[in-house]
Structure 1
Amino acid sequence: MLHLLELDPETHSSWCSSFRVGVICSHIVVLGRSLTGAECGINAEVEKELEMGKKLLAAGQLADALSHFHAAIEGDSDNYFAYYRRATVYLAMGKSKAAIRDLSKVVELKQDFTSARLQRGNLLLKQGKFDEAEDDFKRVLQSNPSDKEQTEARTQLMKSDEMQRLHSQAQAAYLEGDYYTVIGFLDEILDVCVWDAELRELRAECYIKEGEPGKAVSDLKAAAKLKSDNTEAFHKISTIYYQLGEHELSLSEVRECLKLDQDHKECFSHYKQVKKLNKQILSAEELIQEGRYQDAIDKYETVMKTEPNIAVYTTRAKERICHCLSKNQQSTEAITLCTEVLRLEPENVNALKDRAEAYLLEEQYEEAIQDYETAKEHNENDQQIQEGLEKAQRLLKQSQKRDYYKILGVKRNARKQEIVKAYRKLAMQWHPDNFQDEEEKKKAEKRFIDIAAAKEVLTDPEMRRKFDEGEDPLDAESQQGGGNPFHRSWNSWQGFDPFSSGGPFKFKFHFN
């Protein structure tokens, strides 16, 4: 805010002219009388633009305010106050480089404008330009500033000295290969010098050398914004994402590099590799969505060949192949491959779920329950895990009773033809008429009834579905009062011929 000035009427014109005062003339009082814009020698149109810009700036309408300050400067290119106002808008918009340019113009036009010099010094310090910042702070102290400006300048000068000391220590530690210590120094410096792209790139490099590439990304992204045409930063970000298995993010970042320089050799080479791998992975996932699991397996095997040097892609490919094998009911292979993935990543929820599903197919219910419970510990809100766990618990309880699959000696994923074939074989083997000894005959009767019951349940889609969900449909009939025909004695249907098309029961025992 400019101080009100007491000027002699004869000298006010020369004063206005020499300093090109870009302020509203009502702020200049000559012997108690406010001067008009015309008396000040100020272009009335410029004065209007400044007043409008000021109001819009106060209202937070930055873009509109900026346009008025542009107009004021076009009307009077030596109006230092217009540059100062525009610098304020640029700062509010986060455009520090443009703000520094305008503040430098202010200082050029009016050497003793301490507010502008102090503001520029603060911005230069944030950029890590210590010498230039210190020069501004020292000049402020030499120009009879206000108490507030003097205090701020001294404080910032001391801060700049401290930052330079830390910077020297960081450089020494870097030369010694002590990257962890370098990171510590840079953390302190970058709290102050937040716009120093080189220091952010240096900290990113130290993170990478310390085996923490993920932490380097945020610094490199900041550096890419702070330094124009920073293709190297985009290339490094893309490379880090690729090594972390984030192929889609890697592709996005390397494209940003090529936007800046389409002939960038390293970015173009990397782009071809990432694009190829990304295309294969997307294709494999589409095949999984379509239920074409064997084709998806083949595609993921191609992924492993495309990128054999980065372990994360091999692990992810095996995880997805495990999923395909489980969905394709290749349970033994699925268990083997999922186990291989889980040795590397014990908390991999996807692998745990897929192995649990494969265990269910193998009737290893306790193992399935353990996998589902482990998966739930790491993702307790996953409904699929909860449903799988409940199913495994039901099947375990059911397996301790009568298991129709075990009775026929078939797997849970057996087709109807396999079930009928197993039934025929066992029915011929255990038909009671094949036995003469009474004890053996009674044993055969019980076994034959169980075989018939198993065939009836497993060849009926609805009854089989209920059984697969943990419910014995024949026990349910008994509980409803209908009775279970297979629990009757052999004497009640003696003479029944299992090779004929019917019998005394409501169920038909036949081999067709």
Structure 2
Amino acid sequence: EPENVQLLLSRGVVHALSGRPREAVQDFDAVLLRDPQNLTARSGRGNALAALGQHDAAIADFNEVLRCDPGHAWACQHRGLSYAAVGNDDLAIADFTQVLRSNPHFTFAYICRGDVYRSKGELQRAIADYSEALRLDPLNRQAVSSRGQAYFDSGNLALALADLSEAVRLDPANAALFERRAGVYLQLNQLTNARNDLDQAIRLDASRESAFLQRGRVHQLAGDIDKAITDLSQALRLNASSAEALRVRGELRLARNEYEKAVADFSEALRLDPNSNTTYLNRARAYSCLGNDKAVIADCSSALEFDVLLADALRLRASACLRRGQHVAALADLTQLIRIDPDDAQALIDRARIRAKQGKFLAAAADYTQSLRLNPANAEALANRGLALRELGKHELALRDLTNAMLLDSKHAAAYCGQRGLVHLERGEHMQAIADFSMALLLDPADANAPMWREKAVRARREQKRQNSPTQRDETGVHSTLSARAGGISRTDVELPLAPMERSQPHAVSIHGDATDFEAESPDGQTDEETELTIVDENPSAAAQAEYETEQRLMQRQESDREKERLRNMAEQFNAARQKQEAEEASRRAATAKKREKSRSRDPEEMRERWRQVGRYAIIAAACLVVAYYVVPLLWGLLPKSKVPYSEVAVEKFVEEYAKDPAAADDKFVDRVVVLRGKLNVVRAKVRRGQVPPPPRVFFAVPGQEKVTVELQFDDIDVAIELKDDAEYRIAGKVQRYKPGTPIVLKQANIIANDKSLSSALPSASKPTYKLAAAQRRPVNDDPAVLLKPSAFCSPMLHEPKL
């Protein structure tokens, strides 16, 4: 019967429910060709067109249906889904709201409107719609999972975890729910739970590329790079065009120093997604490790085109420019970086170095000072500021910075000590300079500059003493007398000895601790004291010269004592620092040895003895459990039993406590058995003739409390069937944890009767048992219009079709 409209309509419905929307459209077209006013066919064609992604044509069909029948709720609902699919969220919300005005108990409309609100970022409204849907249907897995996702988006991870765990309990075969909950665990840094959920998701559906990608991230955070790369490679085998998987695998290969492979991954990711500034930055890091500074500058510039405030790109490009000698470009990048982040101490140090190379020592010192305000313990910044201050002639401040740097960083103390010696040398403090250079040699005997600097300081010291000697100062005394006696000899002759000379003893500076003594000697083997002329008694300056020599020896002795004390203090500080480092190294070695000892395999005999001991303990524990199993009930039976062992509470008071403070009420009642007294409200579902009714839902009737209700869940369905509406009962059950927006659940509910009126309400044993087969619970409906339910084929947001 090719002209039978009813058969064509039914076949179109079957095609639609079977996932063949194209064939369904052909059948619905044939029906509308013969009957243009058939609203069922037009609505079905709109659904099929929406399933094919032709939402504009679907909206046109739904508009025509609503023009002919403004109260067609399903057409309005489906049009809202199509509006949401094309991104017209406001019209979609308007359609869902219109549906809810006509039917406030339509759970699916609340869920769809909540999805649209969540896509718009209005998370509180979305959560409110999901909660209302759960109030109407507490076991709706789509509503509870969507609300969990909304909680996750709003940052409420605890409630998100609770909802997603409930969704997993309701639908344990849904891999997507395990993957969502793994995302929550990942945000909570519970890597083990996240990995377990992702393992379960992959076991349920091994073709989920997103699950492998997310598990790779979990392995990355756990430090297991090999497993992470394996998962990401599997994700790429499932979806070779996943730029995210390529980017993450490139980051892992970069961490493993596989720079060429990392560059290849980043390049392929950029081919698939050329607008990712993070991928450009990561490839620039890989090029930097390969020494390709030109490519580093190009990639950093590309990343900065997408985000001009990307600090890492500015820092990396500045380093590359500095290596290529482009100081002006590097200085500009570092200045921009400091403008973005004034607290970046390393950027301040790098800019100070460039300014020091340009000869701008005052600006360099200012940058080092700002960096030290952020990190006062940076020995490198202290030393570099000391060098800049030395160039500015601020020797006292330079000495202070170099001394502090030497005390903070004992590893580079030799270099800092040498620089401090140069500052002393420039100030004319030759003895201190000699001491610093000698200390630098003691700390680093391989230092090639310290001997040269010390020799220079020794020569300068001799020259200073020569200039300050009485022979040089009394030109009219000793020198004139000697010239007269020599009969006009030259200056070279005056410097030769004319009488027996008085040698001074070598002036030794002792270094305590690990240092050794050293003596500053002249190249010809004499001491650093200059040769003095011995003048006969008739020389009128002989007494003054002797007094001067005595004064000089006293000053030298005092200066030597002060220098010895200073060097002793420095040696003690260095010894303390060395001992601290040795102690830390010893503790690290001890910890490593302890770990190695633990990981070392034990003696087999010792392991067998240990297992034998564990077995004995296990036998004793099992015996104790058996005895407890039989003895404890016996002892418990000897105790006198109360008539009602649980506390009895009026349902009005019980609900009032939850309405006042749910958290305190949960602490008081949750997971405890209570006896509630009050009238019941038995809600029985209406079914058609010939159908077996489902079990009724039983609530306590509490006048004046509409937001907080108490639902009873009986283990025996027959008890719920025989309950009378608006009758008073005493019911005991275990209180479950309360979730806002849902009833307070009393599980394992049982009726307690102690008087005649309540006993009459109990179910009789002679009444038939309530049993339903799976086939009996399935409603039968041959109406094609009723078969066109939204879950059949209209939107990817829906679950499997339900007839």
For Structure 1 versus Structure 2, the TM-score category normalised by the shorter chain is 0.3 to 0.5
Compute the TM-score of the two structures, normalised by the length of structure 2: 0.24
TM-score by length of 1: 0.34
Question: Which of the two has higher C-alpha Rg?
Answer: 2
Higher helix share: 1
Per chain length, whose mean CA-contact separation is higher, i.e. which structure has more relative contact order (CA < 8 Å, sep 6+)?
2
